[in-house]
A and B are shown apart, each in its own frame.
Chain A
Amino acid sequence: EDQVTQSPEALRLQEGESSSLNCSYTVSGLRGLFWYRQDPGKGPEFLFTLYSAGEEKEKERLKATLTKKESFLHITAPKPEDSATYLCAVQGSGAGSYQLTFGKGTKLSVIP
């Protein structure tokens, strides 16, 4: 069974204070690891897909990296508008390989 654990559950940062969110996973054959951003009362918004260890992707102040056991979402010089819950999900190659298995998310608050 695929599993995803995200840490920390919540993170408060001062504006401009860089940090990283962690996503640890176990999966039978990784087809893809996905990062989503979710604002209160909204559906998840797609950010990145990573497919293999060593891969990195960037978008504005966000950078996602992947190893064989975990992924990190690095936030550089965050702004208040980066406040949201960040969700990590994996897609495996076993039974039900089209399903996404999500973690519980990390709630990020960026204080001005």
Chain B
Amino acid sequence: GAGVSQTPSNKVTEKGKYVELRCDPISGHTALYWYRQSLGQGPEFLIYFQGTGAADDSGLPNDRFFAVRPEGSVSTLKIQRTERGDSAVYLCASSWTTNTEAFFGQGTRLTVV
């Protein structure tokens, strides 16, 4: 595609529910990243994929968070038992390699009520 696409744009969920956030990277980009941005802050790293494998998930805050990229293209970030503190904008980015600039999607705004 022309750019990184994220769905949904907005998600409101109740505390304790499960959510999935989808990222469709730029075609051909092998590196994919998830970041989280809270109000007034810069994005914070969550997880990095090179191809299908999670090369680094050190930024995931706890074991309620999990992400997959089964075919090396689309990725899904999964959050179990959501908490109000999970409310933030979740950003996905992709790049040709780790040595090139990353291009971001428009983000998914998650609100846990």
Residues of A within 8 A of B (CB): 4, 31-32, 34, 36, 41-46, 49, 87, 89, 96-105
Contact = CB atoms under 8 A, between A and B. Distances in A.
Contact of A100 (B43, B55, B107): B43
B42 A89 contact: yes
A42 B44 contact: no
B58 to A, nearest CB: 7
The winner among B55, B102, B105, B107 for most chain A CB atoms within 10 A is B102
9 contacts: A44-B91, A44-B104, A49-B101, A96-B56, A98-B48, A101-B45, A102-B42, A104-B40, A105-B42
A100 B93 CA distance: 11
Interface residues of B, number: 27
Contacts of B44: 102
The winner among B33, B42, B93 for most chain A CB atoms within 10 A is B42
Interface of B: 4, 6, 31, 33, 35, 40-45, 48, 55-56, 58-59, 91, 93, 98-99, 101-107
A29 to B, nearest CB: 13
Contact of A98 (B41, B56, B101): B56
